[in-house]
Structure 1
Amino acid sequence: MVIDSTVKKHRPYLAIFDLDDTLIAADSASLWTAFLVEQGIALPALQAEEEEMMLAYAKGDMDMHSYMRATLAPLIGKDRTAIEELVNEFIEQKIKPALYQDGLARIEWHKKRGDSVIIASATSEHLVKPIANMLGADDAIAIELETLNNIYTGNTKGVLSYQQGKVTRMKTWLASNDAQYKGCYGYSDSINDLPLLNAVDKPFAVNPDPTLAMHAQMKDWTIMEWRHDNNILR
């Protein structure tokens, strides 16, 4: 069947945003671990362990399964509803002050155009989904967590949305979505998202780490420098 070119012309774009160090001037998972320590739910040793593992993440060689096992341990046996309430407090205290104003403006730019906005993150869904909702995104892709009778088990499920896994999860999302898109924008700061940025039509390196910056320069991608304003949404 031949598609009317005028119909295709008026299709929206899909905008995929990484979350950590892209839309916020921090890593939400690291902030959450520190928050759990502050609340007396996790031990300070976990924060030190998490910081060590994040050094591997910055190099693009983190074992995400090991990271998730360690950082989900404080949630084992916890009720999902109780954690949701704690996450709401966390977002108010830690996430909103860390938002990039330029990131919020870019989301608004896409929404005014009629584009669909997706947050795709290698952080757990219990953090990413409420943050995405707060940002006005249409949907979110994140690492899925296993629960049993509404109680967290400490296990993940499905494909982890990390590195190539993020592309796999996006393809699954697109296959289950009835919408048709004219093209796809992608925004990230991290070399871990090189597979995603290679897969989209319009890649943007936002405050890129040195390795991603090198790739962006070699491929003539747009590099965006976003500034932090800690008064956003207060």
Structure 2
Amino acid sequence: MPVAIFDLDETLIDGDCSTLWCEHMGRLGWVDPESFMRRNNEMMDAYKAGELAMEDYMAFSLEPMAGRTPEEVEHLVGPWVEDVIEPIIFSDACKAIAEHRTQGDRILVISASSVHLVAPIAERLGIDEVLAIDLDVQHGVYSGATTGTLTYQQGKVARLMQWLDAEGENLEGASFYSDSRNDLPLLQTVDHPHVVNPDPVLLEHAREAGWPIHHWK
């Protein structure tokens, strides 16, 4: 069946879940809020410019979770999703997801954020199939490292191809929705690319390519 693929940050939600979680770690007392968010925002600026080394960002953003159990973190992520994320879900995104479901498409979220955030957010949207950055667990606690191919830029294509092969699916008739220039490799791979509230580089590319441009609220 056709697959409808959605980016998460700034596409399904009006914000970046990794940044919002970093702010929450400051509220929890896990980090110094001022210095940690200063560094986070510097790295997010590099992301927006298509210049971020994702390995560096993950090492930075996961360090406060090292030594904590997945269960401890999950217990805190649930209320955070309800309080912080639910109010910024784009209503137009919900409509697009519903339309694809009505058409019988298989829905997948693929994000360059960590799976411990992406999976529960997708669940709130009624989506249970997710590809995101996987986290390493050693002796029952997070190590602060990632595992596997990072779902970032070309890595999204690589992980999607692995998933399609494992699931017996293909990209015939597939759609992908994203806001970011970082997702051009995947947008150029699917039959039906869609750009959502695009950054300037992606907007120019979409106009030249004749891709649908959505302004979701």
Match of 2:9 among 20, 24, 33: 20
2:114–2:134 CA contact under 8 A, matched in 1: yes
Equivalent residue in structure 2 for 1:112, among 92, 98, 102: 102
5+ residue gaps, structure 2, are none
* 1:184 maps onto 2:177 in alignment: no
Q: Residue 89 of structure 1 aligns to which amino acid in structure 2?
A: P
Of 180, 202, 206, the match for 1:212? 202
* Contact 2:137–2:143 (Cα < 8 Å) also in 1: yes
Q: Which amino acid aligns with 2:43?
A: M
Query: Given residue 115 of structure 1, which amino acid in structure 2 is its aligned partner?
Result: D
Deviation at 1:179, TM superposition (A): 4.2
Q: Which residue of 1 aligns with 2:186?
A: 196
Partner Cα distance (1:138, 1:114) in 2? 15
What does residue 71 of structure 1 align with? 61
Secondary structure of the structure 1 residue equivalent to 2:135: strand
Letter in 1 for 2:141: I
* SS of equivalent residue, structure 2 residue 167: coil
Counterparts of 1:148 and 1:164, CA distance in 2: 28
Q: Mark the runs of 5 or more structure 1 residues left unpaired by the alignment.
A: 1-11, 228-234
Q: Please state if 1:151 is matched with 2:141.
A: yes
CA contact (8 A) 1:15 1:115 kept: yes
Q: Greater CA deviation, 171-180 or 65-74? A: 171-180
1:133 aligns with 2:123: yes
| Two-structure CA RMSD over aligned residues (Å) | 1.0
Cα deviation for residue 181 of structure 1 reads: 6.2
- Give the deviation of 1:90 after TM superposition: 1.1
Please point out which of 38, 46, 71 is paired with 1:48: 38
**TM-score normalised by L of structure 2:** 0.97
Q: Alpha-carbon deviation of 1:130? A: 1.1
Q: Which residue of 2 aligns with 1:31?
A: 20
**Compared with structure 1, are the counterparts of its residues 138 and 116 closer, same or farther at alpha carbon in structure 2 (3 Å cutoff)?**
farther
User: What SS does the aligned partner of 1:37 have?
Assistant: helix
- Aligned counterpart for 1:160 among listed residues 134, 141, 150: 150
Aligned to 2:214: 224
Instruction: Please tell me whether Structure 1 or Structure 2 has the larger radius of gyration of its CA atoms.
Output: 1
